Amino acid sequence: MAEETKTFKDLTREVIEKGICGKCGGCVSFCSAGELNALEMGKNEVPRYVNEDNCLKCKICYLICPQTDTLNLELQEKFGWKLPIGEFLSLASAQTTNKEVEKICTDGGVVTSLLLYLLERNLINGAIVSRKIGRFARESMVARTSEELIDASGSTFSGSLQLEELGGKYSTYTPILSTVKSLAKGYLHDIAVVGTPCQINSIRKMQCLGIIPAHLIKYTIGLFCIENFSFDDVAREMLEKKLDINLEKIVKLNMKDDFIISLTRGVTIHVPLEEVHEVARPACFTCKDFSNEYADISVGGLASPNGYTTTLIRTKLGASVYNGALRNGYIKERAFENSVEERMAKKKMLAKIISFARMKRMRAEERLS
């Protein structure tokens, strides 16, 4: 079928019925700028027609879905994409200089510190981040103040948080695209967004198509992502038995070479990713992007020592943010004895990122073949 005629019916056939919908909500949120409401999130957060007669066959839902390929060539050209991890200008291990961020951040606190720099220097009006509402639940929000940015940082939980996840549903994935859509109603401009590779891919596609309000997004900070988790009470029980832990005792979650669970009383356990695959979201196994190939800056914990964020600066815009934050003392880089040591360490870091990127791409290609 010609691309010009693709509609939600094609999305249903090619993505939803194949079980590879990531439930990002992009298609529903952006179903026509004129509030036609042809789509809704149905049962189990799977999109469906709510009023097919309203469908203008504009094909936006199809084009912006991270699971379709139509706009990928355009993105690849625009960003000078190449295998194995996309284009990048430089690579660093860095960390925050902010003591408050240091206490609660996921890795080195670079994400929060870059956002603090942008906000406090009036380079952005706000940032779309994801704030904790439980151990396995976050919600997307526009942070407008430094306090809100810090509050959304990290993946640590205070001891008083119970497993209050929404109606027995636990998910490490936060749909942020409805928050992007909500920007159209406000007066905000120059926004930064933190998101997973699928979310940044969708935003870049919207920007390619000139869809309002994607033009308000000025900076994209992309998280590395091997997979996200989603499970219910039954799976929770299974997981607790299998890992021999009480999920209520979790104080921090992280992912690097493996899944890292920090428990109360300073106990940390490393769980091989294969052990938790059964609670990962099915769409993640068909996703090819580990290192967030279209972000301005991509970040992860992988390949850096504890307390540092691995930072891939990809675009000139990303470089201006990173260098500005560095120059103004918001972040500092890992120190090396000499340039030879630095070169060797960065070579190793890159090799590690590439190995994860290749592994994820192969996994997806196998699943899709």
Ligand X SMILES: Cc1cc2nc3c(=O)[nH]c(=O)nc-3n(C[C@H](O)[C@H](O)[C@H](O)COP(=O)(O)OP(=O)(O)OC[C@H]3O[C@@H](n4cnc5c(N)ncnc54)[C@H](O)[C@@H]3O)c2cc1C
Q: Which residues bind ligand SF4 (CB under 6 A)?
A: 7-8, 11, 15-16, 21-27, 31-32, 36, 38-39, 47, 55-61, 65-67, 173, 196-198, 225, 227-228, 281, 283-284, 287
Q: Which of 92, 90, 95 is nearest to 306 (CA)?
A: 95
Binding positions for ligand X, rule: CB under 6 A:
105-112, 129-130, 138, 152-154, 172-174, 176, 194-196, 223-226, 228, 254-256, 299-302, 309
Q: Which does 152 bind (CB under 5 to 8 A by kind): ligand SF4, ligand X, none?
A: ligand X
Among ligand SF4, ligand X, none, what does residue 31 contact (CB within 5–8 Å per kind)? ligand SF4
Q: Which is nearer to ligand X, 86 or 109 (CB)?
A: 109
32 vs 355 by CB, closer to ligand SF4: 32
Residue 195 site contact among ligand X, ligand SF4, none (CB < 5 to 8 Å, cut-off depends on kind): ligand X
Nearest approach, Cβ of 233 to ligand X (angstroms)?
A: 21
- Which of ligand SF4, ligand X, none is residue 107 near (CB under 5 to 8 Å by kind)? ligand X
**60 vs 6: CA distance, rounded Å:** 9
Per DSSP bridges, beta strands 309-313 and 297-300 are antiparallel
Interatomic CA distance for residues 60 and 99, integer angstroms: 44
**Six token digits for residue 270:** 């490393």
Which partner in ligand X, ligand SF4, none is near 213 (CB below 5 to 8 A by kind)? none
CB of 329 to ligand SF4, least distance (A): 32
Is the Cβ of residue 58 or residue 250 nearer to ligand X in the bound state?
250
Q: Could you tell me the two tokens for 246?
A: 């009480």
Our CB check for ligand SF4 shows the closer of 96 and 196 to be: 196
